[in-house]
Amino acid sequence: MLAVPVNPTVPVTLTVYEDLRSPASKAFAAQYKDTFATLLAGGQVRIEYRLVTQSDTEYGGRGALAVANAAACAQDLGRFKEYLDQVWAAQPTDPKDDALASQKLLKELGKKAHKMDEAKFVPCVQGGDHDGWVRKSQKAFAAAGFTTAPVVQLNDQTVAGAGGKTLTPAALRTLVRKAVKEAAAHPSATPLPSASA
């Protein structure tokens, strides 16, 4: 599975491709954090995060890969959102700066995320346990023709303007409400995942 699912038992899915080394992804996360929280609280949307490494491709280095792996390690321990908050706070302002490749920094961010089981988190970070998952996510991102993050998809349909100024939180909420209504009207077209998913 290439995505980190949040609230995985509803028929409307928002897929968010983020590059944790990218200032544009950081700005998007800040702008839409409250919107995503509201949508999740409504119980009608699931959000899947797909972490990509486009900035490594563009600028060299491996910071996007390293930090995405660490975020996946945090997800294993139920601390994904808390870890991302620390990543965004520590992200260099210049994407050419590969500071997020530092294992020392990634481990320190784990401590700041609190309640992280370091005995499990640290070996996962050091071993690059989820590097393969991240590389597959990047491969899917590139194969879809995307060249910059963030990208947002609603039920597998790309939402225009996520990386720029044409999409707004209000517009996204409207699109989600429409998708929820369509899912309710045609439940067989959007089957619910099993409870074990």
Residue 175 has a CB neighbour count (10 Å cut-off) of: 18
Among 7, 35, 48, 4, which residue's Cα sits nearest to residue 151? Answer: 48
**Is residue 197 a part of any domain in this protein?**
no
- Compute the average pLDDT of residues 23-27: 95
pLDDT tens column, 91-146? 999 999 999 999 999 999 999 999 999 999 999 999 999 999 999 999 999 999 99
**Is residue 195 a part of any domain in this protein?**
no
**Is residue 194 a part of any domain in this protein?**
no
**Is residue 154 a part of any domain in this protein?**
yes
**Is residue 66 a part of any domain in this protein?**
yes
Is residue 147 very low, low, confident or very high in pLDDT (cuts 50, 70, 90)? very high
DSSP 103-171: HHHHHHHHHHTSS--HHHHHHHHHHTTTHHHHHHHHHHHHHTT--SS-EEEETTEEETTTTSSS--HHH
- Please report the pLDDT score of residue 165 as a whole number: 63
Q: Find the CATH number of the domain harbouring 122.
A: 3.40.30.10
Say whether pLDDT at 11 is over 90.
no
Say whether pLDDT at 57 is over 60.
yes
pLDDT tens column, 152-196? 999 999 998 877 668 899 999 999 999 988 887 876 544 433 232
User: What is the domain count for the chain?
Assistant: 1
- Please report the pLDDT score of residue 44 as a whole number: 81
* 58: containing domain: 4-189
